[in-house]
Amino acid sequence: MERAVIEAFDALRPDVEPHFVQSSRIAGRNPPIIQELRKRGFHMVLLPDKSDWESPARPHSIRHFFAILVALVRSNATILRAARGKNILYVPGVRAGLLSVCAALMFRIRGRRVVHHFHDLGTSMPGAGFWFSLVTDCVHNTAFGYNVVSKKFPQIMRKRNVVMPYILEVERQIPEDQKACRIMEGKRNLFFVGQISQHKGVDILLQAFKPIAREHQDVVLHLVGGCREHFRRQLHLDLLAESALIDRVKFWGYREDVLHLLRSAFLYVHSSPPSRFHESFGRSVVEAMALGIPTVCFRSGALQEIVVHEQTGLICDESVASLTAALNRFLTDVSFRNRCGDNARRRYDELYSPLVVRDRWIQFFKSGEEAAQQA
């Protein structure tokens, strides 16, 4: 989510000038997200959280209640000061909203807009209903997401709701990793990009890949993204059970040059199973589309809206056998793969290209003041 927000607001400059509020504790560790904000020259205000603060939640003791209250008061005071003189308050989640209540009240009193962006498909956090009463506009990444969230929080239907995808960077200039290119050269590369975890179905993907690897000797599976150590050990043990797979599965970890790697992809696989997780968008699917790469996925959330079955990719039933069959179809029918890739690129140009999406975001931020005053 953080990467998508950074890229979107960077693309909107100079028409929209963003100001970010970040955690001092996180900024002190200087993770990639903070490095990215600094590299792009964004203005940042830091919360005074030098140590861990209690997150908004149902308190389990009086002491816990007061710890939450202190965190809320100090966060609200900081964000209120940072928001003075600004035109729109943009909030990327309910937790951030509860830290921004005072600023939201100020914006509403002054007839300004409070925008809530649903980066996921809802939350059960206490206080969500109260927060949504302060919101004037809701942004959803997909129509599927809007339908899910509006059923969970019907009060948002009284707000101004818009459905707009992220503005994705697909032309960013990052030095090419020559060593990575050599690793992928001469292979048919299958890619998964995202959190390497069980809820993303990576264990299912590995099971589906085993017969693929035995049948197609030139196919390699690439897993790009962070992975908790205990889950990686579990996957490694699974691979050791079939030693021939050790050299056919590549763990890349977190990478900034994902798009460079994807340029070598034959096929993109997004294995989130609907029984475990529902995707609110599918960022890497759209990035693959931009490069003319077809996708294989399950019916997880908005993926079934982004991927068009039999046209830009294949949507499978949730099973190892179904995923294996879909992968094998693309590997054995190259003309079908190429046709889906061409269709994917056209669909990206029509619906998800920055040339299309940026104008919609600009129009959204520059309009709606009257709606905000009436909400």
The answer on pLDDT for 323 being more than 60 is yes
Output the pLDDT for position 368.
Answer: 61
Residue 124: other Cβ atoms inside 10 A:
7
> Mean pLDDT across the stretch 168-187?
82
The answer on pLDDT for 238 being more than 80 is no
Output the pLDDT for position 367.
Answer: 82
CATH of domain 2-168+355-374: 3.40.50.2000
pLDDT in tens, 19-62: 999 989 888 888 888 998 999 999 999 988 876 666 666 667 88
Domain boundaries, the chain: 2-168+355-374, 178-351
> Mean pLDDT across the stretch 299-317?
96
- Comparing CA positions, the residue from 220, 202, 226 lying closest to residue 276 is 202
Range of lowest pLDDT (35-44, 80-89, 254-263): 254-263
Q: What is the dihedral of CA 221, 222, 226, 229, to 10 degrees?
A: 50
Of residues 240 and 265, the one with the higher pLDDT is 265
In our burial notation (b when 16+ CB lie closer than 10 A, e otherwise), range 37-72 reads: beeeebeeebbebeeebbebeeeeeeeeeebbeebb
Banded model confidence at residue 375, pLDDT cuts 50, 70, 90: very low
Instruction: Assign residue 176 a region (left: φ > 0; alpha: ψ between -120 and 50; beta: otherwise).
Output: beta
User: What does the mean pLDDT of the chain come to?
Assistant: 89
The CATH fold assigned to 178-351 is: Rossmann fold (3.40.50)
Tokens for 296? Answer: 């294989």
Per-residue CA distances from 43 to 1, 38, 153, 356 (Å): 19, 8, 33, 27
Of residues 153 and 236, the one with the higher pLDDT is 153
pLDDT in tens, 56-78: 666 678 877 787 788 889 899 99
pLDDT in tens, 267-281: 999 999 999 999 989
The answer on pLDDT for 232 being more than 70 is yes
CB-neighbour burial class of residue 10 (10 A; exposed 0-12, middle 13-18, buried 19+):
middle
The answer on pLDDT for 371 being more than 50 is no
> Mean pLDDT across the stretch 140-162?
93
